[in-house]
Structure formats: C-alpha cells, structure tokens
Amino acid sequence: MSDKRVRVRFAPSPTGGLHLGGVRTALFNYLFAKKHNGDFVLRIEDTDQNRYVEGAEQYIIDCLNWCGITPDESPVTPGQYAPYRQSERKTLYREYAERLVMQGHAYYAFDTAEELDKNRKEIPNFQYGQVYRDGLRNSLSLPQHLVDQLLADHTPHVIRIKIPADQTVSFTDMIRGRVSFETNTIDDKVLLKADGMPTYHLAVVVDDYLMKISHAFRGEEWLPSAPIHLLLWDYLGWKADMPQWAHLPLILKPDGHGKLSKRDGARLGFPVFALDWEGTEGFSGMGFLPEAFVNFLATLGWNDGSGHEIFTLDELVTKFSIDRISKAGARFDFEKAKWFNAEWIKKVKAERLKVEVKKVLTDKGIIVEDDTYLLTIIELIKDRCTLLPDFYQQSAYFFQTPAGYDLNAVKPKWTNEKTDFFKAIIEQLKSTEKLIAADFEASFKALAEEKGLKTGDVMLPFRIMLVGGKFGPHVFDIAALLGKDETIDRVEKALIEFTA
C-alpha cells in the first residue's frame, strides 16, 4: 500500500432501489476509508440512459444517510473532483477514447446491432475480438479513406478496445490474491457507445484516475472484466496510479441458487432494500434499526475473528480489515438479521428508541402525550421486541383498554371465589393512595391467601384483565404504570366479561 491518501468510491447506477449487496459494498468502502482517515466518495454511474430511473439517485443518498455512512463527496455535496454524475462528465470521456484510437489500442467499429446479433447467433462462441474483427466493419479492417468517409458522414459507431494477442494480464486482488487472465479469451469491449456515452469500462477507469481513487471495492461479478480495466490503466499511461482492487464476495439468495436479486424480497417475504422503494418495504419500513442493519451487513462476508458479532459503526471502523473478508459468497439469512435487530433493541437506551416507537404507535392511532411515560414503557418491554412494530403489540394496552380478552384462559376455571377476590381487590385499591408495585403485590398475595386462593390462580386472570392476553412484563409493574384508577377500571370492566 502506498502512502498516498486513501480515497474510495461507491459507484452505483441509479436503476432502482439499492439492495443489500449494494449497501454492503458502500459500507465496506466507508469502513475502509474511515479506518485510514480517507475519503468516501459517491459517484453516480448513470451512463445507461435506458435504465435510468427517476428518484433512484436521491434514494441511494437517503439509504446511505439512514445507515450513517454519508459520503464525503457526492453529487449533492461535491468536492474538488466534481461533477459526480457520469452523465455530466460525458464530454470528457471521448478525448480518452480517441487517444486510445490514436495510440492503436482502440478502434472505430461501425457494425450495427443487427449484424452483431446475426453473428452471435450463427457463429458458435462468437466474440468481437482478434479472431473475427478483421471480417467486421471497423477501422482495423476497412481502408483508411472509407473510415474517414464513414466518420465524416457521422455514421453511427462505437469505439472498441483492441485486446492484444497472447498476453497474460494478472494482478493482485486484496481479497483473492493473484488473479490471471489470457488476453486471447477476452473480447474487444465497447468503450464509447454510439450515443457518445462511455461504457462502464471506460468510465470507471477514467473517473477512478481523475478522482484519485486509491482502492477500488466492487462486487465479484466485476472480476471477469478486471483485465480490461488493467489494460486501460496501462494504455492510458496511468499504471502507477491504479487503485488496488478488492472484489467482494457476492450475497446469495437464501433459498436455491444465485446471487440475491431485487425481486427475491417479494418472492420470499423479506426486505432486500434498505429503505422502502416503490411500495416494497425495506429494512427500515419493516422495523429495523440502522445500527442493526449495518451490523448485520458487516458480518456478511467479514468477521473480526474474536467471536463477537455486535458492533457499532465506530467499532466496525476500527476493527475492519480487508484480510478478514472471506472469499466465498454469503447466503442471506433473514432470521439472523432479525436477531441482530433484537440485540440492538436490547442494547440501546430507551431514549434512542423514543422517536421510532412513537411513530409506530402514532401509525396505529395511539397518541403519546407523556414522553416520560413512554420511556418507562419502552424500558419495560424492549427486551421482548424483535422489530419496531412489536412495540405496538407489546405496549398498546398501556394506552388503551384491551380490545379483547383471552377468555379461554380464564373462563373455564372461573369461580365465584375469584369474583369475590377481585371485588375485594377493587375495594382495597380504592382505599390506597397510590399504587406502588411492590406494596400492591404484597397485599394482593396476602388477600389471595386470606380468601383461600392460590396466588397463581388469580395472577393470570389479573394479567388478562389489564393486558388482554398471556404476555407482557411483570403484572404489578403494569398495574403501577397504569395507575390506581385505570387498574380499578380495567378490573371492573373485565369482571363483567369474565362472569357473563
């Protein structure tokens, strides 16, 4: 590793929602940059106008912000290497492509899409490369005057790289070690499209150079095109400045085979996007904490070797290291993702959860007026919540009387003695000034004994009176929080139902 400043980029194309794999690539970029006091750049690779999706760029930025991995430089917060959208850099790529043509490393090609399709169909293993290029319509095969004429007539054309024969291109990947390719198996990829836009291959090299990128992280699907990029770095004369490459293992589908795709979420019933995207619920919408989401993503293909799995973003930054990234693809496991969220809900303070929980309750029509009351409730129930919406189910009864009662759990075993007991409880409560959990528990038990009832026989009914079902924290804590009047009220109401 040289001593030049660490600069990394996350370079997504705005073609839709940002899925797990993309966010993880961004995260690893961020972690590496921050660990080495470097810069994290967001560059939008919108060179394909056909696939451009309105709003996708803003969505990507929102996702990164939600995750807490905000770029230092981006289209909306440009640094000195602006612009950060490749579409806005369009004019600059042509110059480099022409330069390659002049040097004999690239050439003009006039073949139409139809002609190429025909070849691909008729010739087995057809490649636009050294074997066939002489028989096709390009500046290598056509006489110079004809090429000049075609160019002068503005005949649609592309610029292709001229892959050399009989060479071995190899490099050292930070994750995979030495990787080699034979140039004879590589085809002459298009560098500049007929519309003047560069393809990924040209744009990524030019921009990484111009933006002084020192380390390039990208998914493993890019490995096969790495030799093209290596050749380009060389031909453009920038070899000494080439970033170090790191091809990240892919995130695979939880079932079956293949890499995780955007459609898998809908099919398998779990989110693949960080934030909601066009009606598809994301991790955020499903009730994940960004801390948990990021933590989970970090462990998909990386671990710190200690056996610990719960890390804050800052901890990830200090612990991150490329040599602990695994080579094999990681299957996405939604159960594990949920476990991370549950751990994070337990770990953070109630205060941290306040805004999110309030929103969950508000969405369900519960207006929270007293923040202190809410905080106490959150503290009391957070250990039993996995996703944010669980807070509704676990706390609704604190704000409204139970919508219904689990009558099956009480009615079959109901007796007149129990009715008497609860009537006595009401009276006892009425005569106390304030409901204190410990005091009330003691007197509740004493009264049960006095009436010849087993505490257990009245505890469950009491819980169901207050909560509606067999769940929730210590019942006397609930009563104390509800307060004397509300408790009395609920017991009275429930009694009617239980004895009906």
Q: Nearest approach, Cβ of 367 to RNA (angstroms)?
A: 25
Instruction: Please check whether residue 328 is in contact with residue 249, taking contact to mean a CB–CB distance below 8 angstroms.
Output: yes
Return the exposure string of 386-418: e unless at least 16 CB atoms fall within 10 Å of the residue's CB, then b.
bbbbbbbbbbbbbbeebeebbeeebeeeeeeeb
Its sign, for the CA torsion 425, 429, 431, 437, is: positive
Tell the smallest beta-carbon distance from residue 327 to RNA (Å). 4
104 binds RNA (CB under 7 A): no
With CB under 7 A as the contact rule, the residue among 473, 484, 493, 497 that binds RNA is: 473
127 binds RNA (CB under 7 A): yes
- Nearer to RNA by Cβ, of 3 and 452: the residue is 452
For RNA, the closer CB: 6 or 161: 161
Round to whole Å and give the CA distance between 424 and 436.
18
At 462 the three-state DSSP class reads helix
Note whether 460 binds RNA by CB under 7 A: yes
Residues within window 216-235 making contact with RNA, judged by CB under 7 A:
220-225
Contact between 472 and RNA (CB under 7 A)? yes
Q: Which of 19, 105, 162, 193 binds RNA (CB under 7 A)?
A: 193
Are 163 and 129 in contact, with CB atoms under 8 Å apart?
A: yes
Q: Which residues inside 52-81 make contact with RNA, applying CB under 7 A?
A: none
The answer to whether residue 459 forms part of the interface with RNA (CB under 7 A) is yes
Choice among 162, 189, 193, 262 that is catalytic: 262
Phi, psi at residue 356, to the nearest 5°? -65, -45
Nearer to RNA, 21 or 282 (CB): 21
Which residues, other chains included, contact 392 with Cβ-Cβ below 8 Å and sequence gap of 6+? 360, 361, 364, 366
Residues 317-346 that bind RNA (CB under 7 A): 324, 326-331, 333, 335-336, 338-339, 342, 346
132 near RNA, rule: CB under 7 A:
no
Q: Give the nearest distance from C-beta 244 to RNA in angstroms.
A: 16
Q: Which token pair is 248? A: 């990240």
Q: Does 154 contact RNA by CB under 7 A?
A: no
Using the rule CB under 7 A, which residue among 60, 140, 250, 488 binds RNA? 250
Considering the rule CB under 7 A, would residue 176 count as an interface residue with RNA? yes
- CA dist 141 to 77, 108, 379, 380, 464, Å? 47, 10, 76, 78, 86
Cis before 83? omega within 30: yes
In the residue annotation, 319 being an active-site residue is answered as: no
The residues that are catalytic are 262
